[in-house]
A and B are shown apart, each in its own frame.
Chain A
């Protein structure tokens, strides 16, 4: 077990290193950093001075070590646009993205679980069929277009909700949050619903499949035979048993939601990390791009690591990679 955990940790570290190499090659071999770092009207002397100061005249492997050394110290360069360390710019945007992602997950659960339960308990009902058909549509609809339709309908036609931005924020634990003010909350609704759509459908289908699987089992019959009320059978006995895969998916999907917030944030001008990276790509703000990629890869490596280790702890039958035949 300890060896397996150690191997898994080592693997995570190796993935991170591999990513630094890929990102470094992508920046320095595909594009020429000198063109990006130095203004076009700089003369030759100025150029040479900057090249030397940045170490761009060194062999590539030395440049890589410099990059790695700086990265390990949390220095991924200074944004050209914000004139601040790239990591700090990204961390400033983190709360907005987290707030959006957590709201989306909550909405997905609140919508997906009850509808899935209903569809599972009455598989042949008309309403269940409608629910299942709509959920297929939810998988097919491109997120950005749903966002546009939401804006068009609730923002422009009805005028009920603001169509973009984050609105007023209030401070909590030294960080600005939108969900603490009425205005911020109004701004949060549409993007959160947009981001939640896919996962609501996913959770709905999982819940339904779980109910269909659990309902014919003996313990449900026994609970009913004991004379328990139907609400208790469903609410306690069935729910408990279908929640395991649902909780797992919620954990796994959190990373996806953060990744897909790139789209939703761009549609709704939500000032989070996702919008930042798109803006930075469009103005070629390389340090931000690098820092974002490193941060998001680290984020995913950690999520995958935690999920894998939790699995092994919960179920020893799950083999860690590398232990198989």
Chain B
């Protein structure tokens, strides 16, 4: 199979020619101040989440480090041991700042992993639909249309009502909620791409179908999918937070930002607003940063798609 061992034509072309266009894209991306702000914020947030154990003043899961005497202290208070709680403490005496930094890990982890799996699954089905056509296409797109006619929160609610709480269940629910968006976008792009000459060339070379799909077609459909994936991560984080707030999301042992907000909810009416407020601010900054980056990516990668 000498054909199979040949490097795929698109990749070699890309390697030669992409260097300059990529730099052009990067430069275009950073021309917008909003995009720079979003990028810097997002990098900082991802850094915080990845390095949580090194940065956070306290390990919020380690019960030995918590003191019930420190519970529900307002922001800026000092603990018995001299530690300062910049954002106050919750009902267990947990430092809110540390809780938020660790919560970011869960929220980002759930958001990114669900968006990735949904993209893999949805884009594969979308490409398949566009490439195979016929009944397969009709069947896949019917399911997509049907699912998109229901609001995402409702679909997620139904799934979690039966599966119960848990990080894996939440990720699964989010993947089921999100895959349809990718499938629709991938099919739309693939329908345009498959008529191009390189596809005809690949087919003439009798390359196996799966190889045509994933090595030739998929890379050329990526730009719009990357834009959607960015925005979907923000949507997933927001939806996860909402589900966790409703008590259907992540378990109490691994609190995400949404669950932190929910924990503080009962104390809010008695004036202890910081327990709910700051995790919400962290959530907001994360979502806005991702959306700023996503907006700019859309402008840069797809100049026609501007509003």
Binding site for B on A (CB under 8 A): 15, 26-27, 30-31, 136-137, 139-145, 148-149, 151-152, 155-156, 163, 209, 255-256, 259-260, 262-263, 266-267, 277-278, 281-282, 289, 293, 296-297, 300, 304, 321
Contact = CB atoms under 8 A, between A and B. Distances in A.
B162 A300 contact: no
Interface stretch (B46-54, B90-98, B109-117, B239-247): B239-247
22 contacts: A140-B238, A140-B291, A141-B284, A142-B258, A142-B284, A144-B241, A144-B246, A145-B261, A148-B261, A148-B268, A148-B276, A149-B280, A156-B271, A259-B153, A262-B153, A278-B246, A278-B247, A278-B248, A281-B161, A289-B161, A297-B150, A300-B150
A304 B162 contact: no
B273 A142 contact: no
B246 A27 contact: no
Q: How large is the interface on B (under 10, 10 to 19, 20 to 34, 35 or more residues)?
A: 35 or more
Contacts of A259: 150-151, 153-154
Nearest to A280: B161
A98 to B, nearest CB: 17
Contact of A140 (B145, B161, B247, B288): B288
A244 B135 CA distance: 35
B157 interface: yes
Contact of A321 (B145, B160, B280): B145
A182 B240 CA distance: 36
A26 B163 CA distance: 8
Interface in B224-264: 234, 238, 241-242, 245-248, 258, 261
A304 B149 contact: yes
A30 B157 CA distance: 16
B307 to A, nearest CB: 8
A296 B280 contact: no
Nearest to A281: B161
B146 interface: yes
Query: Which of A136, A142, A282 has the largest count of B CB atoms less than 10 A from its CB?
Result: A142
Interface of B: 142, 145-146, 149-151, 153-154, 157-158, 160-163, 234, 238, 241-242, 245-248, 258, 261, 265, 268-269, 271, 273, 276-277, 280, 283-284, 287-288, 291, 307
Given A141-B284, A142-B242, A262-B154, 6 more contacts: A140-B287, A141-B287, A144-B258, A145-B280, A259-B154, A262-B246
A148 B278 CA distance: 12
B284 A293 contact: no
Contacts of B154: 259, 262, 296, 300
Contacts of A140: 234, 238, 284, 287-288, 291
Contacts of B142: 321
B280 A260 contact: no
Query: Which of B158, B238, B284 has the largest count of A CB atoms less than 10 A from its CB?
Result: B158
A136 B231 CA distance: 13
B246 A266 contact: yes
B92 to A, nearest CB: 20
B39 to A, nearest CB: 16
A26 B162 CA distance: 6
A149 B247 CA distance: 19
Query: Which of B153, B241, B246 has the largest count of A CB atoms less than 10 A from its CB?
Result: B246
A256 B276 CA distance: 26
Contacts of B151: 255-256, 259-260
A145 B268 contact: no
Contacts of A145: 241, 261, 280, 283-284
A304 B284 CA distance: 32
A137 B288 contact: yes
A289 B154 CA distance: 12
Contact of B268 (A152, A260, A263): A152
Contacts of A30: 162-163
